[in-house]
Amino acid sequence: MGDPTEIANERVWEDQRARFDRMREECPVAHTEDGTMVLRHAEVVAAATDPGTFSSSVTARRAIPNSLDGAEHAAYREIVDRYLGPEQVAQQEEQCRQTAEEIVAHLPRGQMIRTVTGVGVPYAVRTMSAWLGWPEELEPDLVKWMRDNHAATRSGDRSRTAAVAQRFDALIRALLQPRRQGTARDVTGELMRESVNGRPLSDEEVVSILRNFTAGDLGSLAASVGVIVYDLAAKTAVQHHVRDLVAAGSAAQLEAALEEILRIDDPFVSNRRRTTAEVTVGGQVLPEGRRILLNWTAANRDPRVFGDPDRYDPVGNAESNLVFGIGPHVCPARGLTLMELRVLITELVRATTWIDLATDEPAVRETWPVGGWARVPVLLR
């Protein structure tokens, strides 16, 4: 059993993956200040696919559809999925490409660039805003909010994260007002005209869905860019493989490669659940009402499933890859995210002959409970 004080007393780790790897091999579950952390692939999958026993209703604040279960979750998830199907994703590819081309064209060659803040953040904000129909002048506010939200999350101070969340809700509400009597055909305007169970969505529900679309996905996309670019710069064989896929125009294989890079260094550390009855997990009896952390980063590196967790095998590991989750709460934006990443990496590779890690400034890992890299300084050749 993991030491109950291990996470509480050591929040800053040089490499969370290494710590999670050790914890996972000591015990499938570890008791922490935040609840019980589930670390092995089999137990994480079992919990994620059993919403009856492991409820997603974990906070007083209603988050649509993330905090819902059963039929209620399915009703709202049907709405969300309508905006994220293959056809809808394909419609966004050109604007993503234009944004990626513009960002990459302005990156200096032979000089250090900071991948997360210099590439990932502006790309995430601009592509998401274009998709939702939000004005370009909102970019500075969104970038500042991302920075503040990241800092609040790192702090572990729930009052601070709540205040940042309320600020984001106010920002979204201001965007709804001009659309209330309008005929805007963007995603935000269309969502305001949706119905659930025979009644129109309330403003509160629209805000919650848009928060789900953006609040997490902005940071997640930027974090994913950092992980992928670091891996390309650090691993010659992987960069050669990705460059070959880009040259061949193999979109599906390139997306599989990027998803495998994210499996090896999963920046989406965990999701919360709550037990609805007494249940045994990894040989440990957990009481009803116990807070659970499903550790995707640890599960995605479980040697019982992947052998050597650092072995790069996009085809062989695809079926067990949990980067976007599993079960009824599997990430609805998987297709959109992979397309956005594929487009950006394609443009970055096409515009360069090689990507190297910077030698005068080291990459810096993120700290619990955030995953991936805080800084990834690289040189473009």
Give 6's pLDDT tier (boundaries 50, 70, 90): very low
In a domain, 148, yes or no: yes
Give 4's pLDDT tier (boundaries 50, 70, 90): very low
Host domain of residue 218: 6-380
**Looking at 9-13, 160-164, 334-338, which range is the least confident one?**
9-13
- Kindly state the average pLDDT of the residues 30-51: 94
In a domain, 217, yes or no: yes
- Kindly state the average pLDDT of the residues 7-13: 40
R_g (Cα) of the chain, nearest Å: 20
Residue-wise pLDDT tens digits, 161-198: 888 888 988 988 988 888 877 766 789 999 999 999 99
Give 95's pLDDT tier (boundaries 50, 70, 90): very high
In a domain, 292, yes or no: yes
Starting at the edge strand that comes first in sequence, how are the strands of the sheet with 355-357 ordered?
112-114, 377-380, 355-357
Look at residue 2 and give its three-state secondary structure: strand
- Kindly state the average pLDDT of the residues 56-77: 93
DSSP letter at 120? I
Q: What is the pLDDT of residue 14?
A: 63
Give 44's pLDDT tier (boundaries 50, 70, 90): very high
Give 10's pLDDT tier (boundaries 50, 70, 90): very low
In a domain, 1, yes or no: no
In a domain, 214, yes or no: yes
Q: What is the pLDDT of residue 1?
A: 41
Residue-wise pLDDT tens digits, 304-321: 999 999 999 999 999 999
In a domain, 218, yes or no: yes
DSSP E strand stretches across the chain: 29-32, 35-38, 54-55, 112-114, 195-196, 199-200, 270-275, 279-281, 284-286, 291-295, 355-357, 364-365, 373-375, 377-380
In a domain, 332, yes or no: yes
Q: What is the pLDDT of residue 147?
A: 85
Give 11's pLDDT tier (boundaries 50, 70, 90): very low
In a domain, 349, yes or no: yes
Residue-wise pLDDT tens digits, 205-217: 999 999 888 877 7
Q: What is the pLDDT of residue 12?
A: 40
Number of domains composing the chain: 1
Q: Quote the Cα angle for 150-153-154, to 5°.
A: 85
pLDDT of residue 331 exceeding 90: yes
Query: Residue 202 has which token pair?
Result: 């309330």
DSSP letter at 179? G
Q: Looking at residue 141, which CATH number applies to its domain?
A: 1.10.630.10
Question: In this structure, are residues 89 and 339 in contact, taking their beta carbons and an 8 Å threshold?
Answer: yes
